[in-house]
Structure formats: structure tokens, C-alpha cells
A and B are shown apart, each in its own frame.
Chain A
């Protein structure tokens, strides 16, 4: 195996395109190094993207927040502006692993590892995040939902890698939240998770809603019907009941040591309601 540390997007693409044998992209390494050690992957080339400036920056413009693919969880958590704009996304990333893992792990890596239980993913989908991909044919940007194909499988083509994740600048009175169920208090893998982003108007009525659930299907899922249930309304028990049912309906979980199909399906509905309530409450607290 050869380790490479290109210093430009162009150089990284060139390495990926011309690599003989299998090439893997390395960011924080908290998944890749474990997979290497356990011989789940045996790449011929390891392409470290941390020396590329575009992967290390957090930039905020009028339209979007761009978080470089090699920005660590700790660095994201210390960024007050991103936290203020998308608290749910930052909290979701902050739940990944220990302090030590946070010093290295990245949101881009969490996405590319494509675990059905990845903490950042439901929050990113709820926030309508996009993946910024660089490749031999230039840059392209796709939604998180389209990026994730199956466990461990993404829409990246040969020669491509994720440069950054882009989150929209949220409209006025928008907030998000992410919650997960784990049997411990910390350092565990989500049994079920839910992320939600809510926009309210001046009267506290919902104008835009997105909800996504994790660990209940091969990839995190957007609950498409959530928008129809919540938009144009206030938060009442009837709507929450509908939301819980709609959420459970999109679940196709597996039985494993962490939870049963029945448990995951039911808890997804419960967590979805709680995530919506929390995002709603945060949106209410925003200045109009």
C-alpha cells in the first residue's frame, strides 16, 4: 500500500484516476484505519485529502455554508457560526465517538463510510445538505439522499472524491435538531435516529419541514410525507400522531443485537416527533 498526500484537488483526482489497483480516500481515518486493520479493505493506494486547502476550510457565503470534507468534528463543534445556523447538524457530528475520535473524525468521512446508522446523515438530510464532489469531469453537487446508495456504497464514481458538504443558509425562523436512541449514555452506535429541520412564519405556523430517520433502513431516509403533515399547521397531538405513523411506515429495519424490527419501527416514530418538537421549539426561539 502506498500513502499519498496531494496538496490540490487536481493532484488528488489525478492520483485517483491513475492509481493501479484499488485506491481509498483518507480523511480522519477513524473508519478507514479500522477497516485496514481488520482487512475489510486492502487498497493499493491511500489518498490523504487533508493537505488540500478546500477540504480543510469552513466558509460561509450568502447562499451556503461549506464544510470541508476533512474538517474534524472538534473543529466543527468549535465553530460558533455553523452551530448557530444548524445546531442539529453540529450536535449530530458531536455525537460521533469519543473526544479522541472527535479530534480526527470528519463529517465527510461519516457520510462516505455510508453506515445506515451514521449520526451526521439524518441531520444533513433534514438540513437539505448537498455533497460537493470533485472528479475528472469537474465539480458536481448532489443531495445527500442521492449520494447514499446502500450500506458502504455511495454515488462516487472512479476518480471522484468528496471535497465538502454544503448546507443552505437557513431561511428566517428555521432550526434543526437531531436525536438518537442508544442503550448507553455515550459512545454508542444509533439504534434509531431522527433529524428534523423546521421553518415557521411570524404566527408560529410551519412553512417548511424536513424529517429524516437513520438506522431503520439500508440508508437514512427522508420522510417525504412529513412536509404535508406539518406545513400550514401548528404543532398539535393529532399531527404528531400522524407524523409518528408516517415515520414508522417508511422504516425497513433489520433485527440485530442492537434492536428488533418492531422496536426500531416504533421508536423511529417516537424520535421523529421529539426531533420535530425540538426543532420547532428552537425555531420559535429564533428572532423573526
Chain B
């Protein structure tokens, strides 16, 4: 039997899971909660593929233990589209073809969501710096940056 019994909120739902001391949040999300949208890239906090939001802040889920997540609120890619409607970031990634293989995409979308919450009108440089912790080996980043800028513009327009 796993040692730790943890209650947390994942995508707005109360969840409970058991985990061992060494299991990461990434392990828990993928193998206990079957939320496999969060991807395992480097496992050492370098690539950003496993980025999720914890209490509103973007984190690498490979660098957080499941046991550390008691009473935390976690947002994963599975919770991004609401009621079947894509988040503006998701829609713009499709419109701009800002993904190819897609492994980095959930992490980048979560990071971009956190960035736009902090700064609704970022410059291109701010977007590039903000996404510096997310590696993509397919796109060359240009389309990703354009998609984030465009989504930011749409989200600002929707608010007014």
C-alpha cells in the first residue's frame, strides 16, 4: 500500500490518491489519475513538457512530489477547454499551426496561460522569455509565439 494519502483539486474536481514518497506529481497525473495529456520529457525540469498550474502558478510537475500536493489546486491540459469550447490559446495554436508532434504543446499552453494571466499584453520578447523553459524541437518557436500573441489579443478583445 502506498504511504501517502493525498486530497487535492484537479481541474476543479476533488480527487484523492495514494502515492509513494518518491512519486512525482507527473507520475501521479499520468499513472494514477490517467491524465496523460501532461507529457514526460526530460524529468529534470529542463524541457517544460510536464508544465501544469499549481495554485495558479506554472510548475514542472516532474519536480514536485505527489506527497507535496495536499490541498493544492492543479490545472492540467485536460481542464483547459471548458464545456467543449477550446481555450483561445488552444484555438490559436490550431489556427497558426503552432504544433507539429505535439509533445511540448500541453506544457506550452499551460505556461502561456499562466503568462497571460500575469501580463495580458506581452511583447514578443516577453513571450519568448516567458516560454524559455519550454523546449520545442519541431516548430522553431515562431508560430508558437505568434499564436500566443494572437490569443492574448483575442482575450483582451473579449474582455472589453
> Is A279 among interface residues, defined by CB-CB distance under 8 A?
no
Stretch at the interface among A97-105, A123-131, A153-161, A170-178: A97-105
Question: Are A30 and B63 in contact, with the CB atoms below 8 A?
Answer: yes
Chain A to chain B contacts (Cβ below 8 Å), 9 pairs: A1-B22, A34-B44, A46-B21, A74-B57, A97-B133, A100-B51, A100-B63, A100-B133, A186-B129
> Is A48 among interface residues, defined by CB-CB distance under 8 A?
yes
Give every chain A residue within 8 A of B22 (Cβ-Cβ): 1, 3, 36
Per a CB cutoff under 8 Å, which of B4, B24, B54, B133 touches A99?
B133
Question: Are B54 and A103 in contact, with the CB atoms below 8 A?
Answer: yes
Per a CB cutoff under 8 Å, which of A38, A48, A101 touches B68?
A48
Taken together as a complex, chains A and B put the C-alpha atoms of A281 and B45 apart, in Å, by 36
Closest-by-CB residue of A relative to B70 is A5
Taken together as a complex, chains A and B put the C-alpha atoms of A37 and B64 apart, in Å, by 12
Taken together as a complex, chains A and B put the C-alpha atoms of A187 and B64 apart, in Å, by 20
Question: Are B62 and A103 in contact, with the CB atoms below 8 A?
Answer: no
B69 → chain A closest CB, angstroms: 11
Give every chain B residue within 8 A of A2 (Cβ-Cβ): 3, 21
Taken together as a complex, chains A and B put the C-alpha atoms of A99 and B56 apart, in Å, by 12
Question: Are A33 and B62 in contact, with the CB atoms below 8 A?
Answer: yes
Taken together as a complex, chains A and B put the C-alpha atoms of A101 and B61 apart, in Å, by 10
B contact patch SS: mixed
Per a CB cutoff under 8 Å, which of A33, A34, A99, A187 touches B65?
A33
* Interface size class of chain B, counting residues whose CB lies under 8 Å from the partner chain: 20 to 34
Bits for B123-137, please: 1 = Cβ < 8 Å to A, else 0.
Answer: 000000110111000
Query: What are the nearest 6 A-B pairs in CB distance?
Result: A98-B133, A3-B21, A103-B57, A3-B67, A186-B132, A100-B60
| Residues of B42-99 contacting chain A, CB below 8 A | 43-45, 48, 51, 54, 57-60, 62-65, 67-68
Question: Are A100 and B59 in contact, with the CB atoms below 8 A?
Answer: yes
| Residues of A185-234 contacting chain B, CB below 8 A | 185-187
Bits for A49-83, please: 1 = Cβ < 8 Å to B, else 0.
Answer: 01000000000000000000000001000000000
Per a CB cutoff under 8 Å, which of B24, B54, B111, B129 touches A33?
B24
Per a CB cutoff under 8 Å, which of A5, A33, A46, A98 touches B132?
A98
Closest-by-CB residue of B relative to A34 is B44
